[in-house]
Amino acid sequence: MAKIDQSSLTRKTGSDYPEPYASMMKKRSYLMLGDAGGLTQFGANITILEPGGMSSMRHWHMNGDEFVMVTKGEVVMVTDDGETVMHAGDCAAFPAGVENGHHFINKTDTEARFLVVGTRVSEDTVYYSDVDMMVKDTDGVGEFTRKDGSPFR
């Protein structure tokens, strides 16, 4: 595979979350590096946070591991343990099944970026720590519901 030209990739902005959470992701975008390189066993994305941006709602995965490495700027990692400031080169790992929701916030006045690597599993359930929402993902198709499984409206 040749070098991936990040400048040629489509920058995707926003989220598949239902409202009111989707509108909270307007300052987040990402580049799908793994897809561009034809990877099938794990995903690799660059997440870009504008000032005030948030990576996601705080969440954890039942079946998928996640690894994050800050590549530019500064972000605040928020977990059940509190807030941790992270700079370029800092890393964090989130093993599957560990009920410690996480997300990243850019509290600075400059853009921040981080690499996210995650396993691709045929089935996963993602739980959102601070809101009544979960998503069941089967073969890349996610269905958002409340935590009790009732429809999200």
CATH number at residue 64: 2.60.120.10
Residue 85 is encoded by which pair of tokens? 């400031």
| pLDDT tier at 1, thresholds 50, 70, 90 | low
Please report, rounded to a whole number, the percentage of residues in the chain having pLDDT higher than 90: 94
Residue 47 placed within a domain: yes
Average pLDDT over residues 52-56: 97
Quickly state the pLDDT bin for 140 (edges 50, 70, 90). confident
Which range marks the domain in which residue 92 is found? 11-124
pLDDT reading at 12 higher than 70:
yes
- Do the domain assignments include residue 143? no
Taking the C-alpha atoms of residue 50 and residue 57, their distance in angstroms, rounded to an integer, is 16
What's the number of CA atoms in the CB half-sphere (13 Å) around residue 105? 12
Residue 140 in domain: no
Number of independent structural domains in the chain: 1
Give the distance from CA 111 to its chain's centroid.
Answer: 16
In a domain, 146, yes or no: no
Residue 52 lies in a domain: yes
Strand partners for 128: 59
Is residue 144 one of the residues assigned to a domain?
A: no
pLDDT at residue 2, as a whole number:
82
**pTM for this one?**
0.94
Among 123, 21, 114, residue whose Cα is nearest residue 68: 114
Tokens of 104: 């990243």
